[in-house]
């Protein structure tokens, strides 16, 4: 099969999840993904969201009937939907000439491979990663101020938990 990829910029509001993500059995995963990503996403700067979209692009197909459908990069797509206005044009990869079975397989691979390979193991793991980032990078990626309370909300833990993690780091 000859698949052609073309980079484009499309207004976010013109992209919808492919029907594979909204079928029974899959819709629960899609909603859970949107819900789980909504909390940390609201603390990201617009610049961070665009960086994420460059690093992990949304992949779309186009049909006259359905318009643009996201078939890959669903996590990036979910974060963009939570953080950016629908009028913002986002970078996408337009995939051309893919049959319907390949599209479904692509959607399923996106869901399961990103979950298996790219999931953060725990909130504490993410906290540890944030601690090793240079402050200049942290300042670019997170909305100020990035204190204990904001970290706790972003990681969905209590402030006491964040303080406990900080104390572990100091020792």
What residue ranges of the chain have pLDDT lower than 50? 1
E strand residue ranges, the chain: 4-11, 15-17, 58-63, 67-72, 89-96
pLDDT at 124 (0 to 100): 74
Q: Are 5 and 95 in contact (CB under 8 A)?
A: yes
pLDDT at 1 (0 to 100): 44
Calpha distance 110→117 (Å, rounded): 10
End-to-end Cα separation, the chain, in angstroms: 57
pLDDT at 97 (0 to 100): 85
pLDDT at 59 (0 to 100): 97
pLDDT at 90 (0 to 100): 98
Q: Which SS3 state, helix, strand or coil, does residue 40 take?
A: helix
Q: Taking the CA atoms of the chain, what radius of gyration do you get in angstroms? A: 18
pLDDT at 57 (0 to 100): 94
**Measured CA distances, 97 to 74, 100, 132, 134 (Å):** 20, 10, 43, 43
Calpha distance 152→38 (Å, rounded): 14
How crowded is residue 34: how many other Cβ atoms within 10 Å of its Cβ?
19
pLDDT at 29 (0 to 100): 62
pLDDT at 35 (0 to 100): 62
């Amino acid at each position: 099969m000859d698949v052609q990829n073309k980079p484009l910029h499309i207004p976010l509001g013109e992209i919808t999840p492919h029907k594979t993500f909204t079928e029974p059995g899959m819709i629960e995963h899609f909603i859970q993904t949107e819900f789980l990503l909504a909390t940390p996403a609201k603390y990201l700067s617009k610049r961070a969201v665009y960086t994420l979209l460059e690093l992990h692009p949304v992949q779309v197909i186009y049909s006259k009937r359905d318009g643009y459908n996201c078939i890959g990069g669903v996590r990036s797509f979910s974060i963009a939907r939570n953080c950016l206005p629908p009028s913002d044009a986002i970078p996408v990869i337009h995939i051309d000439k893919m049959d319907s079975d390949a599209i479904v397989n692509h959607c399923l691979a996106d869901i399961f491979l990103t979950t298996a390979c790219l999931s953060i193991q725990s909130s504490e793991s993410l906290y540890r990663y944030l601690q090793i980032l240079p402050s200049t990078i942290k300042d670019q990626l997170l909305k100020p101020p990035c204190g204990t309370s904001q970290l706790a909300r972003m990681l969905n833990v209590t402030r006491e938990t964040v303080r406990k993690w900080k104390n572990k780091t100091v020792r």
